[in-house]
Amino acid sequence: MQSMNRKVAIVTGASRASGIGTAVCLSLAKAGVDVFFTHWTAFDRIEGNGEERDFPDKLCDQLKSFGVRAEHMSLDLRVDKAPATLLNEVKETLGPPSILANNATYESPTDFRTLNTDLLDKHYQVNNRGTLMLSVEFAKQYEKSFQNKHEGRIINLVSGGPDPNNLAYIATKGMTIAITEPLSVALLPIGITVNSINPGPTDSGWMNEDTKSHLLAQFPAGRLGKPEDVAKVIAFLTSDDSYWLTGQTIRCEGGFLGK
């Protein structure tokens, strides 16, 4: 059962201390929202930025220190049953969720010489199929649990720009941008808003010093984007005040020039 009628949020892809997913979890917890987050260590260990041992448990304890409830699980969005498995676990442990932050992603650098169907499929399985099916299953459960309420929120993390070395990633994130508006029209009648956020290059642990130096000159604010910048916007989008804002792709990137 929900505690003190607090909202319950799902945040996918929170597995590193410096990641956007972690910043989103913390921002929501500070706002009094119960948080259920997912992680997929196998990706971090083999293809991502490295595994942080015991991090999920540490983040869970940190979230609870704000006086909210928190749970987590390992989840591979490529698996067909992953959306149902996740939603059932959230409902059993924290109650029916009304917020979904689709942050989990698959990214592997690909240019026109290295792009192949296998790499494209890996991106599609997580960034599109997994994300969209989780969103629609979330909406079905919300419709049953929150009749005549307007508290539902889906927020997608997307990307874009002229990066020739990230073709598969940008292509699949482009599909998520494309589905944002029609999905928002479909779900607003049952009380769910749908928006996407493009955070631009964010210093979330993947940049080396050369990359930071190259990108810094393209930020008019004179600093790189931080995970907290995005998390603050997501916190607003999950609030009651954001209800009239739906179907949008928000560029939360500090005026990044995108070169």
Nearest to 24 by CA among 69, 59, 52, 53: 59
Task: Give the residue carrying structure tokens 């041992």.
Answer: 53
CA torsion sign, 125 to 129 to 135 to 138? negative
CA torsion sign, 10 to 16 to 19 to 25? positive
Of the candidates 106, 124, 142, 169, the residue annotated as catalytic is 169
In contact, 107 and 173? CB cutoff 8 Å: no
Nearest to 139 by CA among 81, 191, 90: 191
The CA-CA-CA angle for residues 175, 56, 197, to 5°, reads 25
The amino acid at 242? S
**243 classed as catalytic:** no
In contact, 256 and 200? CB cutoff 8 Å: yes
The stretches of 94-219 forming alpha helices (DSSP H) are 117-124, 131-145, 167-187, 209-216
Catalytic positions: 169
